[in-house]
Amino acid sequence: MTVEQCRGARAMLGWSQTELAEAANVSRQTIADFERGAHMPIPNNLASIATAFTEAGIELIPENGGGAGVRFARATEREK
């Protein structure tokens, strides 16, 4: 996950940094530091952030030659 994906996904959901931190069970400072590029969260925290987005219906699109991105997941993917 990139900083831009994190900010974009959070914006799509209308979540504050605090709301994302609560959903991911990490500190708000972890989110703030990541989003401003101060440091990359430890792998467990990064996975928790990604899981929080996935559970909220966001799909993180990996770099695939067209650039990394973020979008709402299809309804069938969210229901899995």
Contact 17, 32 (CB under 8 A): yes
Find the CATH number of the domain harbouring 67.
1.10.260.40
13 in Cβ contact with 70 (< 8 Å): no
Question: Total domain count for the chain?
Answer: 1
Torsion angle of C-alpha atoms 4, 9, 13, 15, degrees rounded to 10: -50
HSE-CB for 70 with a 13 A CA cutoff: 19
pLDDT tens profile 1-58: 999 999 999 999 999 999 999 999 999 999 999 999 999 999 999 999 999 999 999 9
SS (H, E, C) 56-67: CCEEEECCCCCC
- Tokens 């703030």, located at residue: 32
Residue 80 lies in a domain: no
Full domain range(s) for residue 23? 3-75
